[in-house]
């Protein structure tokens, strides 16, 4: 009986783990490495892709394009860094919130 209960708990834990992995893999703007957080590492990945030292998957490109212009470049990395530093409140589409546009 204990083995059956343990087996059920193990299956539930595995399913929950898989669910969280698939949730974590969903496209969150700016989370290029899909770790669930938007950090400087994500900006670094964008810069590496821009310089050709790494390749991004199509899902990563979608997450990296935080300027929503269909391109991934250093401006996307800058916007991610501005978000990480708290200079902008959101990585939503530009013009979505007052004060979130990049002013350099």
Q: DSSP letter at 96? A: S
How many whole angstroms separate alpha carbon 28 and alpha carbon 59?
10
Here's the x/- map for Ca ion, 39-58, by CB under 5 A: it reads as ---x----------------
How many whole angstroms separate alpha carbon 49 and alpha carbon 42?
11
Residue with tokens 């916007």: 79
Stretch that binds Ca ion, among 19-27, 38-46, 67-75, 94-102 (CB under 5 A): 38-46
Give, as ranges, the residues between 83 and 102 that touch Ca ion (CB under 5 A).
none
Residues that bind Ca ion (CB under 5 A): 31, 33, 35, 37, 42
């Amino acid at each position: 009986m204990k083995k059956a209960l343990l087996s059920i708990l193990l299956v539930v834990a595995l399913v929950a783990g898989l669910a969280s992995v698939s949730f974590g893999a969903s496209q969150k703007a700016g989370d290029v490495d899909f770790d669930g957080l938007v950090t400087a590492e994500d900006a670094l990945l964008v810069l590496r892709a821009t310089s050709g030292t790494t390749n991004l998957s199509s899902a990563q490109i979608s997450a990296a394009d935080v300027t929503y212009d269909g391109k991934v470049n250093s401006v996307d990395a800058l916007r991610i860094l501005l978000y990480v530093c708290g200079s902008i409140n959101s990585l939503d589409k530009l013009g979505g919130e007052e004060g979130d546009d990049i002013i350099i």
